[in-house]
Structure 1
Amino acid sequence: MTITDIIDYIRGLGGVLVLSPTEGSGHPELSLGDHFFYYAPDGEVPTRTQPFATIVTKDYPGDDRSHLDRPGAFRVNIAAGKQAFLDHARPDTDPSVPDTVHAHPVYGAASWLAVVDPAERTEATVRALLRTAHERARARVERHAG
């Protein structure tokens, strides 16, 4: 899976706002090149919620165990919920191993999952987890709106 494959897939889920900071956009320089996915059918970045998924292309301060400093490396992060986390997380594995579902090295305690360089082995799982995260985000927005 490429970053473009993942972005296209998530966009196809409907009601998704993709925030992709660029130079001059006012976002922190560290976030440039990364992607943040929100359920936001109105096209506005929600003010009181986190993205339901992200793609990061570099190590962040305090989040370097995935070793994203390698050329072309990236990690998809997914807030698929506690049950999905329990079903898929491999908390005692090296979070830099590609194409493997792991507990997020920083946000695992919040039930976030992570996959470095998803490929053939994890593609179907990543897609299913992204659908679940999207459905959870949609339900949360609808619950708060009504």
Structure 2
Amino acid sequence: MDIQQIIETVRGFDGALAVVPDSEPYPELSWGDAYFYFAPDGVMPERTQPYATITTKDYPDDTAFMLGPGRFRVNIHVGRDRATKLSDADAQSTGADVFLPHPLYGTMGWVCVVNPAANTSRRVLDLLRDAHDAARARTLRREEEA
């Protein structure tokens, strides 16, 4: 599965917004990455974090995965309990097609997969759908409370 396939799948979810920075006003470091939100109005939320991202390169505080050309990482918020069950404690960050805790946000319920393929691609898409549905439910609940 490649980056574009993932982005197009998420764009097919009702109310999904996929932001893929490629120029100003976004920081250059973010160019080529993708950020997924529930935003039925098509406007990136100002006070909401994405429910999933795709990272295409190493960031200064996140270098263990050796990302770059031909190597990307899908990051998904799945909740703490699910993250613990999904993550392969024996896998190395340099491995691909395995679920790992996110290197910075793993304790907050985020998992990641480098280059999803035969072992993880179906589950990655299912988790992206679940994360989208959870983000939608949170947004609708906030709107009702307001």
Is TM > 0.5 for Structure 1 vs Structure 2? yes
Which of 98, 101, 110 is the aligned partner of 2:99? 101
Tell me the residue number matched to 2:46: 47
- Partner deviation per Cα, 1:7-45 (whole Å, 9 max, x = no partner): 11111111111111112x211110001110100001111
**In the aligned structure 2, how far is the partner of 1:106 from the partner of 1:131?**
22
**In the aligned structure 2, how far is the partner of 1:113 from the partner of 1:91?**
12
Cα RMSD after superposing both structures: 1.2
1:135 matches 2:133: yes
How do 1:13-24 and structure 2 match up within 5 A?
A: 13-23=13-23
Tell me the residue number matched to 1:64: 63
How many residue pairs were aligned? 144
Which of 91, 98, 113 is the aligned partner of 2:111? 113
**In the aligned structure 2, how far is the partner of 1:50 from the partner of 1:17?**
12
Q: Which blocks of at least 5 consecutive residues in structure 2 are unaligned?
A: none
Structure-2 change in CA distance of 1:91 and 1:28 (3 Å): farther
SS of residue paired to 2:37: strand
**In the aligned structure 2, how far is the partner of 1:82 from the partner of 1:8?**
27
**In the aligned structure 1, how far is the partner of 2:81 from the partner of 2:133?**
14
SS of residue paired to 1:141: helix
SS of residue paired to 1:115: strand
TM-score normalised by L of structure 2: 0.93
CA contact (8 A) 1:90 1:102 kept: yes
Q: Which blocks of at least 5 consecutive residues in structure 1 are unaligned?
A: none
